[in-house]
Amino acid sequence: MGLRELALVFPDYFGFIAALEISPGLILFVFLPTLIFESTFNLDAQQLRHNLGAILMLAVPGLILSTAAIGVVVWWATDLPLAAALLLGAIGGSLVLMWLMLTGLRWMRGGETG
């Protein structure tokens, strides 16, 4: 989004950026598997086993709360049945779970959490 704005402000230099289109399929099938593989490849399994209890203590309640919150908001805002809204919430909640796990690992190593 920011690159497109740059192309609109400086069309002589960055005009070619405005014509670029990144489809959701490209992100889902190319970039996401590459990022997941890289994260898994560089993961220290021994450190993960050592910190698994603390990671799960943060991640499981976060998954349940975010699934419920997202599901209830979607159910309230749309005409979806509650079960379908909770399934949609589970998709969003799993993303929150992944973020909590990665943030927890970085925090336990003493790194940045942002």
pLDDT digits (tens, 9 = 90+) for 85-101: 999 888 877 776 667 66
Angstrom distance (rounded) from CA 17 to CA 77 = 36
58 shares its domain with 103? yes
Q: What is the pLDDT of residues 40-68, one digit of tens each?
A: 888 888 888 898 898 889 888 888 888 89
64 shares its domain with 80? yes
First to last CA, the chain: 21
52 shares its domain with 104? yes
For residue 96, which of 41, 59, 68, 71 has the smallest C-alpha distance? 59
Angstrom distance (rounded) from CA 47 to CA 110 = 13
Q: Residue 110: pLDDT above 70? A: no
38 shares its domain with 53? no
Domain membership of residue 35 as a residue range: 1-42
Of all residues in the chain, the percent with pLDDT exceeding 90 is 8
69 shares its domain with 83? yes
33 shares its domain with 87? no
| Least confident piece of the model among 11-15, 67-71, 99-103 | 99-103
Of all residues in the chain, the percent with pLDDT exceeding 70 is 82
59 shares its domain with 97? yes
Angstrom distance (rounded) from CA 83 to CA 89 = 10
**What pLDDT is recorded for position 10?**
81
Task: Count up the domains in the chain and report the number.
Answer: 2
38 shares its domain with 77? no
Residue 25: both structure tokens together: 């399929």
50 shares its domain with 95? yes
